[in-house]
Chain A
């Protein structure tokens, strides 16, 4: 059954209907323990149906190709569904971003295997007992959303992701260092290999530190763990459900005036560039925290209706099986005025990765994690690896009162574009 037919079927038994079809074709090659391990491919698709019936929402999905049964199921479940505070949007006045598939299509299994093999060769030479791992993959993504409101919008996109790292597991000193990139264009393993190699060399010595308060420099990757507090508390869903402690604080100064946080789904270099979200609402650039002041929340259709706000084009589906929810991609914390060297000079610790930070209760503002990769800093230079140290960062307080500096340069971490951040008074338990 075609998407049009499924829409017709759903519409015939409801007041309004929407069909979302997506297909993902991927290919990847991975190396483990210095050797090639696996080559994989996938061709996955699914069709999600959402209906509005008697003022309620019905939703169902099928991944069986051409299966229109989701239309019937969505209609039958609508009687239990949430009250719909929204209508499906009309065709937006934007066009899909053009996609040049040549960069993605140029990644063949042979090329991926060769690129990975070269990276592994360089990494394994770092020292005895080093086991290198590496992977490279590509994904072509296409989606189409159509509704009884006249919406019919297709997206064609693709990206390449590549990662590499090393492990060295000796008694009392397990070490894993890795990094990854994602983008439309593969620009080589060199930057990753050099970063991992430098960090590996810095880990040749280890320093025990004492518990207490420290000035800590967070790299873009470590900063992304702290910004989970922002991502969760700014979500329109958390606001609508009164879970976010910031629900009633729009317009208040909550942070240091150097903190400006936004999402940018339309800039040319955004890895997940989108003209519209997965509900057909135009996406864009959204200021969330403006010079320390809580400016706005990010919404999908549903959370916007619940909060009495306008949808912001952040309704994305984590998979074809999930209903659209407010989702934050392509986040940016704007850079400051400080050079990285100056920030490092003021730091006692340099933190790259926190283990367990994702389990913290972000709505309490406190992110806690063990330093899985971090260094002591002396006179602005990283000196030795820090182990067995637990950081506890009260983001609510420290982003307000203890920002010592923000770097003038930014780096991509996943889809986010983030600077380095120096915080004072970070609690360390050791």
Chain B
């Protein structure tokens, strides 16, 4: 198979061809209220071919591996039709041609955990929520793991075989009141260790207490605030507000944007260091090789407040004369790889959290995220929980806090970076170009930002 496929790709009449073949077994367990709604195991099997001819891309995906030769030809035909109109002499950025079988070395392999135990662990978590207080209306406890076997080959001779795993758990307490329905959620995730699913009892109890208080809280008053973001929310902030802007497919063919995003430009205070890394083994953003066969790395995006890098595919790196960063990712065989984040982090500063709060006369302390979105310049994300800060002290809880702003202004308005860096994997994922949810991670210390617009009454 290996030699046959490599030879097939080498002979293809294209500037570049790659094949990805995948087999994924996904286990899902999902309680809603007292009911086990879902306990399934699905097999996803398929592949894709991507070809490049004169700067034009062709892509085809399929479930049947029969007649793979015809599928390679089809992708090349697609690429040729595009290349004829485009007529571009594009050479992808050069990378080492690897021939490797990447060992998968789990700490506690979810594939070794019987499904009965997964169900019982979730059931126990779910019962904690349902028995906590009669004001809790219902619960949600979700778990998934996905074990994937991946084969990757290119016309350049690259060959990668690897297995990976993604797993996540999320347990929510739900309160339904005349004012609406409110959630608080405990979660965790990993790429190699089922143990992260275990021992969440205390955190779930805390979320049960939180949701009752959130439901009783007043909605936040809209306006401009000084906000302190906790590490979880600051991680989502940097992902939404800056990470997406750093994905080079946003920039590489836009001369105006290249002026805005010129390397060396000052984006934030000198204390601000932002990186995106695939090196953190065990995080959901861990990625030994990207989906173009490029080894992963830690890519600095901002160093001492200045733009120093961006996230590249081989195409965007070639066009911008920069180095590939191992950031081309596809969510599965049904999609071509595009520049994406892995684990996006704000590195630790030196301000203790207590000092940050004491130095904030009026503001909001915002915790955890319920998701975020960006259009490049604008970003918005919703805090899962929030408190008013008054006279340098954390005061009453408020709800329905959605933060928004201009990326460039907001980064400049960061004025304190905490010394308490924390990395936490969420149960969700990142969406871009119809590819959702891609496993990613975030890490950050507490961060303070001035003049953030908060929606509300």
Q: Is A420 an interface residue (CB 8 A)?
A: no
Q: Which of B352-395 contact A (CB under 8 A)?
A: 370-378, 380-382
A169 contacts B81, C-beta separation under 8 Å: no
- A67 and B45 CA atoms in complex are apart in Å by 10
A352 CB, min distance to chain B CBs, angstroms? 13
B85 contacts A361, C-beta separation under 8 Å: no
Most buried by A among B176, B178, B219, B406: B176
Q: Is B135 an interface residue (CB 8 A)?
A: no
Q: Is B204 an interface residue (CB 8 A)?
A: no
Residues on the A chain within 8 Å of B238, using CB: none
Residues on the B chain within 8 Å of A60, using CB: 40-43
A83 CB, min distance to chain B CBs, angstroms? 8
Q: Is A82 an interface residue (CB 8 A)?
A: yes
Q: Which of A155-170 contact B (CB under 8 A)?
A: 167-170
Number of A residues, CB within 8 Å of B: 80
- A408 and B453 CA atoms in complex are apart in Å by 36
Q: Is B253 an interface residue (CB 8 A)?
A: yes
Beyond A33-B254, A129-B256, A356-B372, whether A370 also contacts B404 by CB under 8 A is yes
**Contact indicator per residue, chain A 34-53, by CB within 8 Å of chain B (1) or not (0):** 01111111111110000000
Q: Is A90 an interface residue (CB 8 A)?
A: no
**Contact indicator per residue, chain A 20-64, by CB within 8 Å of chain B (1) or not (0):** 000000000100110111111111111000000000000111111
Residues on the B chain within 8 Å of A363, using CB: 176, 180-181
Q: Is A271 an interface residue (CB 8 A)?
A: no
Residues on the B chain within 8 Å of A65, using CB: 63-64
Q: Is A252 an interface residue (CB 8 A)?
A: no
Residues on the B chain within 8 Å of A110, using CB: 81
B377 contacts A40, C-beta separation under 8 Å: no
Q: Is A366 an interface residue (CB 8 A)?
A: yes
- A359 and B384 CA atoms in complex are apart in Å by 11
Beyond A60-B40, A77-B115, whether A355 also contacts B373 by CB under 8 A is yes
Residues on the A chain within 8 Å of B115, using CB: 77, 80
Residues on the A chain within 8 Å of B254, using CB: 33, 131, 167, 169
Residues on the B chain within 8 Å of A62, using CB: 42-43, 45
Residues on the B chain within 8 Å of A257, using CB: none
Residues on the A chain within 8 Å of B152, using CB: none
B82 contacts A69, C-beta separation under 8 Å: no
A359 contacts B382, C-beta separation under 8 Å: yes
Q: Is B138 an interface residue (CB 8 A)?
A: yes
- Prevailing SS type, chain B contact patch: strand
Q: In chain B, what residue has the closest Cβ to A390? A: B455
Residues on the A chain within 8 Å of B57, using CB: 37-39
**Contact indicator per residue, chain B 233-273, by CB within 8 Å of chain A (1) or not (0):** 00000000000000000000111110110000000000000
B400 CB, min distance to chain A CBs, angstroms? 6
Q: Is A365 an interface residue (CB 8 A)?
A: yes
Q: Which of B10-18, B31-39, B161-169 contacts A (4 or more CB under 8 A)?
A: B31-39
Q: Is A267 an interface residue (CB 8 A)?
A: no
Give the residue of A69, A131, A173, A323 whose beta carbon is less than 8 angstroms from that of B40.
A323
Q: In chain A, what residue has the closest Cβ to B177? A: A245
B42 contacts A80, C-beta separation under 8 Å: no
B338 CB, min distance to chain A CBs, angstroms? 11
A63 CB, min distance to chain B CBs, angstroms? 5
Beyond A45-B63, A360-B382, whether A63 also contacts B376 by CB under 8 A is no
- A29 and B224 CA atoms in complex are apart in Å by 44
Q: Is B435 an interface residue (CB 8 A)?
A: no
B175 CB, min distance to chain A CBs, angstroms? 10
A392 contacts B457, C-beta separation under 8 Å: yes
Q: Is B78 an interface residue (CB 8 A)?
A: yes
- A79 and B38 CA atoms in complex are apart in Å by 11
Give the residue of B43, B179, B222, B457 whose beta carbon is less than 8 angstroms from that of A364.
B179
**Contact indicator per residue, chain B 203-219, by CB within 8 Å of chain A (1) or not (0):** 00000000000000001
Residues on the A chain within 8 Å of B36, using CB: 80-82
- A207 and B360 CA atoms in complex are apart in Å by 31
Beyond A427-B456, A429-B453, whether A36 also contacts B62 by CB under 8 A is no
Most buried by A among B115, B371, B376, B400: B400
Q: Is A113 an interface residue (CB 8 A)?
A: yes
Q: Is B56 an interface residue (CB 8 A)?
A: yes
B380 contacts A59, C-beta separation under 8 Å: no
- A359 and B45 CA atoms in complex are apart in Å by 31
Residues on the A chain within 8 Å of B63, using CB: 43-46, 63-65
Q: Is A171 an interface residue (CB 8 A)?
A: yes
A356 contacts B457, C-beta separation under 8 Å: no
A364 contacts B182, C-beta separation under 8 Å: yes
Q: In chain A, what residue has the closest Cβ to B457? A: A427
Q: Is B289 an interface residue (CB 8 A)?
A: no
A321 contacts B42, C-beta separation under 8 Å: yes
A39 contacts B79, C-beta separation under 8 Å: yes
- A173 and B260 CA atoms in complex are apart in Å by 11
Residues on the B chain within 8 Å of A59, using CB: 38, 40
Residues on the B chain within 8 Å of A242, using CB: 33, 137-138, 176
A356 contacts B222, C-beta separation under 8 Å: no
Most buried by B among A36, A40, A81, A394: A40
Q: Is A211 an interface residue (CB 8 A)?
A: yes
Q: Is A95 an interface residue (CB 8 A)?
A: no
Q: Which of A108-148 contact B (CB under 8 A)?
A: 109-110, 113, 117, 129, 131
Residues on the A chain within 8 Å of B150, using CB: none
Q: Which of A342-379 contact B (CB under 8 A)?
A: 355-356, 358-361, 363-366, 368-370, 372
- A244 and B176 CA atoms in complex are apart in Å by 8
Residues on the A chain within 8 Å of B74, using CB: 41
Q: Is B46 an interface residue (CB 8 A)?
A: yes
B223 contacts A321, C-beta separation under 8 Å: no
Q: Which of B337-353 contact A (CB under 8 A)?
A: none
Q: Is A241 an interface residue (CB 8 A)?
A: yes
Q: In chain A, what residue has the closest Cβ to B249? A: A32
Beyond A40-B58, A211-B222, A429-B222, whether A355 also contacts B380 by CB under 8 A is yes
Q: Which of B6-62 contact A (CB under 8 A)?
A: 26, 29, 32-33, 35-46, 56-62
Residues on the A chain within 8 Å of B253, using CB: 32-33, 35, 131
- A391 and B56 CA atoms in complex are apart in Å by 41
Q: Is B334 an interface residue (CB 8 A)?
A: yes
- A393 and B176 CA atoms in complex are apart in Å by 19
A41 contacts B375, C-beta separation under 8 Å: no
- A131 and B56 CA atoms in complex are apart in Å by 18
Q: Is B336 an interface residue (CB 8 A)?
A: yes
Residues on the B chain within 8 Å of A37, using CB: 56-57, 82
Q: In chain A, what residue has the closest Cβ to B373? A: A356
Residues on the A chain within 8 Å of B41, using CB: 60, 73, 77
Q: Which of B71-96 contact A (CB under 8 A)?
A: 74, 78-79, 81-82, 85-86
Q: Which 9 A-B pairs have the closest CB atoms?
A: A364-B180, A363-B181, A356-B380, A174-B377, A429-B222, A33-B253, A390-B455, A80-B39, A39-B78
Show 9 residue pairs from A and B whose CB-CB distance is below 8 angstroms, ordered by the A residue.
Answer: A40-B60, A42-B334, A82-B38, A109-B81, A169-B256, A169-B376, A323-B40, A368-B402, A390-B402
A interface, CB within 8 angstroms of B: 29, 32-33, 35-46, 59-65, 67, 69-70, 73, 77, 80-83, 109-110, 113, 117, 129, 131, 167-174, 176, 211, 237, 241-245, 247, 321, 323, 355-356, 358-361, 363-366, 368-370, 372, 388, 390-392, 394, 396, 427-430
Known: A40-B78, A356-B372. 14 other contacts (CB 8 A): A36-B82, A39-B59, A41-B59, A43-B63, A63-B46, A64-B43, A73-B41, A172-B408, A245-B181, A321-B26, A355-B378, A364-B180, A392-B455, A429-B455
